[in-house]
Structure 1
Amino acid sequence: MKLTGVELRRISMPLVAPFRTSFGTETTRDVLLVRAATTDAEGWGECVAMTAPLYSSEYVDAAADVLRRFLVPAVASVSSAVQVAPALARFHGHRMAKAALETAVLDAELRASGVSFARELGAVREEVPCGVSVGIMDSIDELLDAVGGYLDEGYVRIKLKIQPGWDVEPVRAVRERFGDVLLQVDANTAYTVSDARHLARLDPFDLLLIEQPLDEEDVLGHAELARQITTPVCLDESITSARAAAAAIRLGACSIINIKPGRVGGYLEARRIHDVCIANGVPAWCGGMLETGIGRAANVALAALPGCTLPGDTSGSSRYYRTDITPPFTLRSGHLPVPTGPGIGVDPIESELTAVTTGTEWLAL
């Protein structure tokens, strides 16, 4: 397999409703798609960077720039996806951009060989249970209506975004209204270890986990917090590689890990993190970044690995988009089927993709 070129495509995807977290509110996703063309097939990857550097230091314009100037030229001679990360290793950071490029190359390689992402990664399930992430709302009543709607749709786990001033009471209200529903919270780094006593007020609500309560660099703080609360601590932003995962587990900073392929540099590194979790008896699950069907297809395959034992953020397409750019992922009894076709197992719908495209750039190799 030889790469002949890479297309960078920007699309604009309006969300069905504003999605509010501690680091901002999104109403439309500015998405960067990467299409890798090879002598044997073509493949797609989705960059999950946000418009502004709020969730992480990466943002869409920077991802496009680093791909154009550095990353794409560096993979001109690769013949397999496993060669992408080593070819890019000399460039620091930019894991989301690297992940999009590696995914596109891997998709092309697997399509050419007729192998699915699920098979390549080692999936053991034909469908995966789905959770849903619920953003910060203007009122408790609005939150309860939203949660009730998602449960009616069949979601098997609810994740509430929290921040100081919006934490204990929303959790209390959801637990009282909906009983023993699987419930967890995500702080997106909004607290400090000095908030431990306050966060301990969440312990009576029997949460599955509290996700990334402290700054991503404060791994020792997470270890201290974990000793002061009984709710299991799950790391998200702090987990940037298999090495980081192993260190966090050894330090006692977490007992659960959220694996986001874009955050860690791609699905091959995500699988290594999964393997670290299995080796240490730590449950894992696949996180989400409001992906289109391209990113969602690959995430569902990852969520079907044996160590991903908790429902992930692999929601149906309609959770975020009225019209997806691929055939929609539709919830069935709280689960999504794992694609079985070659590569990621889905293709963009040309008319839908064209309708939301705001620009394309071809980089010949």
Structure 2
Amino acid sequence: MPRVRELEVFRLVLPYGRRPETVLVRLTDYGGMTGWGEIVDPAPKTWRLLQERLGGALIGLDWEHPDELGDIPGGPAADMACWDLWARMRGVPLSHALGGSRTSLMATVRIGAERNLESLVARVNRHVCAGYAHVTLDVHPGWDVEPLRAVRLAYPALGIGVDAHGGYTDAEALEAMDAYTISSIERPFTGLAGHADLQERVAAPVLVEVSSTAELDEAVATRAGRALLLRPATIGSLREVRRMHDIAAAAGWEIACSGGQGTGLARAATVAAASLPGCGLPCDVAEPPRSAQIVTPPVGASGGVIAVPLTQPGLGHTVDVNRVRRLAREAYVA
């Protein structure tokens, strides 16, 4: 039975890109076992919430399973740490603890807009040569049909998805892209309005991103798509992630998992969730920049394939605690 003796919270500003912020939670039980969690790009109130409420919610509490804990203050980071601790105590991988059965995942790599079509095709070529069998092209009005056509002509057998980032207000270009045998159309519009009409017009599944079971129930009921995009690091708990997976799978929807940024811990939870049986679409879990990595082995794809960790319990990765302390801008211990 887990019983948390100490918790540590670290606020990190990562040394790459726009210097995104991430918060890590480390739980230690009375036997010295630890569990880790991460929330990427947290809301401004998250740090104070973790300081003021997480200790009182977890320290000294006896619990048999993370599902018993309900909504934990601090959201995904604290919940992930509880699952990691629980799985480590039982000596099982987090993927198995969640009900996953896959041992490897097909990876996709996201490719943003380039200055011209030649540069785009050259960039795709580098990933194909590295072993990727699927890419996801970022599209927006003015950069959509022609880039997709160029990549499809260069690679007739390549799996291609498109991510619109909610940037469209009508379906004309989206329907035109459907002619190029794409695996999915991700987030075509802001909100769910228009999704059902688009799904009736295209063969590719419309990939819907929602953050709760209530929103997913609405999407399924209105036939807003035929595929679900799961981002475990932004959903309140892994219990909710699993429930959303089950709802989508029961509706006959395909499921894709995406890992976001961070240090590797949130990505590791995404890999565990992507091992669930309904998650058949390619998984988007890019390896973090070397300057931000805190786990070994690194989380990411090799040859276009992501291995699901099965030889270590919990998240399946070892955290470099000293590196965490060096990267931390603030730390809190309770």
Fold similarity call, TM over 0.5: yes
Instruction: Quote how far apart the aligned CAs of 1:10 are.
Output: 2.1
2:263 aligns with 292
Does the aligned pair in 2 maintain the 1:196–1:225 contact within 8 Å? yes
For 1:280, give the aligned amino acid.
A
Instruction: Quote how far apart the aligned CAs of 1:35 are.
Output: 1.3
Gaps of 5+ in 2: none
2: CA distance between counterparts of 1:330 and 1:71? 30
1:210 aligns with 185
Instruction: Quote how far apart the aligned CAs of 1:171 are.
Output: 1.4
Indicate which of 311, 324, 329 corresponds to 2:293: 324
Instruction: Quote how far apart the aligned CAs of 1:308 are.
Output: 0.6
2: CA distance between counterparts of 1:73 and 1:166? 51
2: CA distance between counterparts of 1:144 and 1:177? 7
Indicate which of 208, 214, 221 corresponds to 1:235: 208
2:35 aligns with 43
2: CA distance between counterparts of 1:351 and 1:361? 15
Indicate which of 58, 62, 70 corresponds to 2:45: 62
1:6 aligns with 7
Instruction: Quote how far apart the aligned CAs of 1:72 are.
Output: 5.0
Does the aligned pair in 2 maintain the 1:183–1:207 contact within 8 Å? yes
Indicate which of 107, 120, 135 corresponds to 1:130: 107
1:102 aligns with 79
Does the aligned pair in 2 maintain the 1:200–1:230 contact within 8 Å? no
1:20 aligns with none
Q: Which moved more, 1:29-38 or 1:351-360?
A: 351-360
The 5 Å alignment of 1:257-272 reads: 257-272=228-243
1: CA distance between counterparts of 2:125 and 2:43? 34
**1:356–1:145 distance in 2 versus 1, CA, 3 Å:** farther
2: CA distance between counterparts of 1:309 and 1:45? 25
2: CA distance between counterparts of 1:46 and 1:123? 21
1:198 aligns with 173
Instruction: Quote how far apart the aligned CAs of 1:44 are.
Output: 0.7
The 5 Å alignment of 1:1-365 reads: 1-15=2-16, 26-40=17-31, 41-49=33-41, 59-76=42-59, 77=61, 79=63, 80-86=65-71, 97-192=74-169, 195-215=170-190, 218-236=191-209, 239-315=210-286, 317=287, 320-321=289-290, 324-327=293-296, 328-329=298-299, 331-340=301-310, 341-362=312-333, 364=334
Instruction: Quote how far apart the aligned CAs of 1:107 are.
Output: 0.8
Instruction: Quote how far apart the aligned CAs of 1:335 are.
Output: 1.4
1: CA distance between counterparts of 2:300 and 2:82? 27
CA deviation string 1:181-236 (max 9, x = no partner): 100011222122xx112321211111111111111xx3242112222333321112
Instruction: Quote how far apart the aligned CAs of 1:70 are.
Output: 4.2
Q: TM-score with structure 2 length normalisation?
A: 0.89
For 1:137, give the aligned amino acid.
E
Q: TM-score with structure 1 length normalisation?
A: 0.82
For 2:36, give the aligned amino acid.
W
For 1:228, give the aligned amino acid.
R
Does the aligned pair in 2 maintain the 1:234–1:256 contact within 8 Å? yes
CA deviation string 1:113-169 (max 9, x = no partner): 212101101121221111111223333333222222122211221011122222222
Q: Name the SS for the 2:198 alignment partner.
A: helix
**1:284–1:6 distance in 2 versus 1, CA, 3 Å:** same
2: CA distance between counterparts of 1:115 and 1:178? 40
2: CA distance between counterparts of 1:293 and 1:12? 14
For 2:184, give the aligned amino acid.
L
For 2:293, give the aligned amino acid.
D
Instruction: Quote how far apart the aligned CAs of 1:4 are.
Output: 2.8
Does the aligned pair in 2 maintain the 1:31–1:60 contact within 8 Å? no
Does the aligned pair in 2 maintain the 1:187–1:212 contact within 8 Å? yes
How many residues are matched?
328
For 1:124, give the aligned amino acid.
S
Gaps of 5+ in 1: 16-25, 50-58, 89-96
Q: Name the SS for the 1:213 alignment partner.
A: coil
Instruction: Quote how far apart the aligned CAs of 1:252 are.
Output: 0.6
CA deviation string 1:40-81 (max 9, x = no partner): 4221111022xxxxxxxxx45332233233455444446242
For 2:52, give the aligned amino acid.
R
Q: Name the SS for the 1:137 alignment partner.
A: coil
2: CA distance between counterparts of 1:259 and 1:172? 28
Does the aligned pair in 2 maintain the 1:8–1:33 contact within 8 Å? yes
